[in-house]
Amino acid sequence: MQLSVVIPLLNEEDSLKELHDWIVSVMQSNHFLYEILFIDDGSTDNSWQIISGLSANNPNVKGIRFFKNFGKSQALHAGFKAVTGDVIITMDADLQDSPEEIPALFKLITEEDYDLISGWKKKRYDSVLAKNIPSKFFNWAARKTSGVKLHDFNCGLKAYKLDVVKNIKVSGEMHRYIPVLAKNEGFTKIGEQIVQHQARKYGKTKFGMERFINGFLDLITIWFVSKFGKRPMHFFGALGVLMFFIGFSFALYLGIDKVFINPTGRLITDRPQFYISLTAMILGTQLFLTGFLGEILIRSRPNETRYTISEKVNL
């Protein structure tokens, strides 16, 4: 199997047949051995019936259906577990990603030995205020915090070596930052290819204000996980020791002042420095214990990505 095309989707019944025919045309014209894997993320329309029909007519079409909507990250994770191709292509089901880009992406992986190629939609047809400006902000911040020099982290059109998708864990809503996850696992040859962006032909965008907020929170998470995910004690422990040292220094000052300098002065508990000292030492102890517990959790519990599969076809 040369190519596996993974397509997560939610309520895209109008575009699936056209997308399938377009992909098949590209595969046949390039003589690829391929599979198309649709991941139905709990659609409430006729998407799964269409996928089942496509699979019945084309043995290269496979499908996974979730009981409910678990999110794009979980859909990709399920797809990555199931694929077998040497090169994995991910793309959206809304016809905004062009299958004509697949041969060029395939060559970059197989001939230039890239681990991952991310599409860059340099010219976009999305709303400027609703999507373009937030995307530019997140891409800039992701470049600064991760060191991965890409212009469009969230582009759905990407190509991977099989080893990459089998070794990364896409959980939560981390599909936006898959290149960073790949880098964290040691896959450092990451490139970028300008791809064509199509205007949406059917349906409505799934983008909403909550994605702006979630994207910001995910960015903080990916920065922390990248830097301290495997050594939380280095962050919480260092912060805890610093806070405890500040509190202890105030306590030592108060003790020396009361015993040797001003023994007839105010009670220690009447001085504001006492409460600063007490608070700092309590916070320091709690932060240190947080780091300690984090280290125990990392060593005792593997990361789990949860979803429930309802049906499969051709798998």
H/E run at residue 3: strand 3-9
Question: Would you say residue 252 has pLDDT above 90?
Answer: yes
Question: CA-CA distance, 168 to 178, in Å (whole number)?
Answer: 8
- The SS3 assignment for 157 reads coil
Q: Mind listing the pLDDT tens digit for each residue in 206-241?
A: 655 566 677 677 777 777 777 777 788 888 999 999
Question: CA-CA distance, 297 to 181, in Å (whole number)?
Answer: 20
| Torsion (CA) 216, 42, 46, 214 in degrees, nearest 10 | -10
16-29 and 102-110 helices, crossing angle to 10°: 50
User: What are 184's two structure tokens?
Assistant: 């964290």
> Given its phi and psi angles, is residue 150 left (phi above 0), alpha (psi -120 to 50 degrees) or beta?
beta
Q: Mind listing the pLDDT tens digit for each residue in 168-212?
A: 988 777 888 899 889 988 899 999 999 988 777 776 666 555 666
In sequence order, what DSSP letters do the residues of 47-61 get, joined into one string? HHHHHHHHHHH-TTE
Question: Would you say residue 131 has pLDDT above 80?
Answer: no
Q: State how far the alpha carbon of 108 is from the alpha carbons of 88, 115, 116, 189, 235, in Å.
A: 12, 9, 9, 11, 38
Q: State how far the alpha carbon of 6 is from the alpha carbons of 63, 77, 82, 203, 266, in Å.
A: 10, 10, 10, 20, 72
Question: CA-CA distance, 169 to 178, in Å (whole number)?
Answer: 9
Strands, E assignment, 96-245: 116-120, 158-161, 190-194
What's the number of CA atoms in the CB half-sphere (13 Å) around residue 311? 13
Question: Would you say residue 105 has pLDDT above 60?
Answer: yes
- The SS3 assignment for 78 reads helix
Residue with tokens 């696992």: 185
Q: Give the pLDDT band of residue 19 (cuts 50, 70, 90).
A: very high
Q: Mind listing the pLDDT tens digit for each residue in 267-281?
A: 888 888 899 999 999
Q: Give the pLDDT band of residue 127 (cuts 50, 70, 90).
A: low
Are 37 and 1 within 8 A, CB to CB? no
Residue with tokens 């960073």: 180
Choice between 51 and 1, residue whose per-residue pLDDT is larger: 51
Neighbour order of strands in the sheet with 61-66 = 190-194, 116-120, 158-161, 87-90, 3-9, 34-40, 61-66, 309-313
- β-pairing, 309-313 vs 61-66, is antiparallel
> Given its phi and psi angles, is residue 223 left (phi above 0), alpha (psi -120 to 50 degrees) or beta?
alpha
Give pTM, 2 decimals.
0.76
Percent of the chain clearing pLDDT 70 (strictly above): 90
Question: CA-CA distance, 205 to 124, in Å (whole number)?
Answer: 14
